[in-house]
Amino acid sequence: MRAILLAAGMGTRLRPLTLDTPKSLVKVNKKPMLETQIEFLREKGINEIIVVTGYLSEKFEYLKDKYGVKLVHNDKYDIYNNIYTMSLVKEYLPDSYVIDADVYLHNNFIDENIDKSTYFSGYKEGFKDEWILEFDAENKVHGIRVGNEKGYILCGVSYWNEQDGKIIVERLEEAINSDDFENLYWDDIVKDNIDMLDIRIKKISSDDCFEIDSLEDLNKVNEYILSLDYEDRKA
């Protein structure tokens, strides 16, 4: 088992913080988000970690010595969506976690004994244009749609077993070779081939992880952490 951390994006909505710091290295709870992810993975015995960089790639070099991660550079980070980023590391996908590096993991829900392909998902409300999971009573995912309501959404953390990983790699290669992928995300490959895959949803708490996509998101999470600290001091 390994992990792929997607950290190529520019994080324009987090400027000015991201003018000289990659989005995934912005600190939340006094630590870069990416370092928290790496440490949680290592806590669960997942030590083969591939970080795909792009914007300000030189800022990630210290992670090789500190954690022993492998760095893969996407030199087209400012041209394509993350489908191209994933195509650069597709050989690692079977039996791998995939984590968006702009996700702050507040609790370590990584499952080292997992065997089914799984989307980890928290119930969210008041969102806009998020990817909503549709699933049955056995938690088997049968659809993904984009919506503006409430529900269990893609939270940027998933696991892909050998069988499903190989199917996704084949479809990913087809998309890249078609030269018609500029507007696709790698999750589109899953969405468009979901009938061929055996995916489960693992429900997590809504405050187990947070996507940090803007300064507003960052401020909300920092306020949440401060409120927890205040409650701890009161206790």
Query: Which pLDDT value is given to residue 213?
Result: 87
Query: Which pLDDT value is given to residue 147?
Result: 85
Instruction: Tell me how far apart the alpha carbons of residues 208 and 110 are, in angstroms, rounded to a whole number.
Output: 11
Range in 44-48, 111-115, 214-218 the model is least confident about: 214-218
Helix (H, G, I), strand (E, B) or coil at 2: strand
DSSP state of 54: B
| Higher-pLDDT residue of 72, 82 | 72
Q: What is the pLDDT of residues 169-206, one digit of tens each?
A: 999 999 988 877 888 889 999 999 999 999 999 999 98
Range in 118-122, 128-132, 197-201, 220-224 the model is least confident about: 128-132
210 beta partners: 104
Range in 49-53, 108-112, 172-176 the model is least confident about: 172-176
H/E run at residue 96: strand 96-100
Q: Locate 63 and state its tokens.
A: 């992670």
Instruction: Tell me how far apart the alpha carbons of residues 142 and 171 are, in angstroms, rounded to a whole number.
Output: 18
Instruction: Tell me how far apart the alpha carbons of residues 192 and 153 are, in angstroms, rounded to a whole number.
Output: 17
- Whether 232 shows a pLDDT value over 80: the answer reads no
